[in-house]
Copies of this chain bind each other. A is one copy, B any other.
Amino acid sequence: MNSFGRIFRASIFGESHGAGIGVLIDGCPAGLPLAEEDLRRDLDRRRSGAPGTTPRREPDAPQIRSGIFQGRTTGAPILLIINNRDVDSRDYESMRWTPRPGHADFVAEKKYGGFHDYRGSGHFSGRLTAGLVMAGAVARKLIRPVQVTAVLEEAGGFPQIEEAVQDAVDNKDSIGGVVGCRVTGLPAGLGEPFFDSVESLMSHAVFAIPAIKGIEFGSGFRLARMRGSEANDVILDAKGTTATNHAGGIHGGITNGNDLVFRVVVKPTSSIPREQRTVDMRTGQPAVLQVEGRHDACIALRMPVVVEAATALVLADLMRVAGLIPPVVTE
């Protein structure tokens, strides 16, 4: 349930205010050079620090606990851990019974009968995506020379992202955004016609990222207004190069050799420093909630590397299933 992949498989674990978070990777070929530095590069892109991101400062120092020997993967499961440091759970006790709108507080209470770790969203925290990012850093090395690049295209509806974020901060509010992702260098033929279509697997992985509420491939929702004569990507040569890429590089669920292109929408951060109405779960009576704690005004700022990670996970697995990544890799 917290795992993904058929052969290259990642399982995430941890809590925001517990001992730490991390990921267990199975099915990674032997022989891949891997150092903590490889993980840190991607983790740094996910970290807070910029305006509009949470003041919580975590060094996010990754530890490799198994599966690596003499600087290379061994073929055995790889356990990657980040200990939590900058934990301050005081604010959460006061919010115990007043679920934050837009958060998982209410569903967690229902699903786990009140036994969940409610501090800092516990296992539901966006902090868990650091585990995804570490798995993605491994996957990214495996799939080379395939390249995955995601960027925040807009925030709050504006391409001037810094201004939009500052405006949200000034208004004690939050904004969402749109992240675009492009994969270059992909071979044709990955994916399966139906339940393992590339769209199925990519969306499955991407929707594991908290706050993402939509995904579209190629021209996506704009296809609803296009004619077939416009939407069909004309094939230009025997390699399958197309004149346009409305399909986002996927036909019949399978990569067609063009760039894989998709966009996801990130909802505005749910935690905002304003009073909000909610309910007291014990009494069912209305309540007013002032979310304390440290939060991002625009979590979308930190998303691109997480989307890249989810994408790399899917591709590493697809390439393993297709036999394109051997059980032992050598560089």
Contact = CB atoms under 8 A, between A and B. Distances in A.
A61 interface: no
A154 B123 CA distance: 39
A87 interface: no
Contacts of A328: 111-113, 115
Interface in A133-180: 154, 156-157, 168, 171, 173-178
B31 A113 contact: yes
Contacts of A266: 223-224
- Copies of this chain, whole number: 4
Nearest to A210: B252
9 cross-chain pairs, A with B, having the tightest CB-CB distances, nearest first: A104-B252, A214-B216, A174-B228, A238-B284, A157-B225, A76-B123, A203-B203, A113-B328, A101-B232
Interface of A: 1-4, 6-7, 9, 11-15, 18-22, 24, 26-27, 30-31, 65-67, 69, 72-79, 81, 99-104, 106-108, 110-113, 115-117, 122-124, 128, 154, 156-157, 168, 171, 173-178, 188-189, 192-197, 199-201, 203-205, 207-208, 210, 212-221, 223-238, 240, 242, 246-248, 251-257, 265-272, 274, 276-279, 281, 283-284, 286, 321-323, 326-328, 330
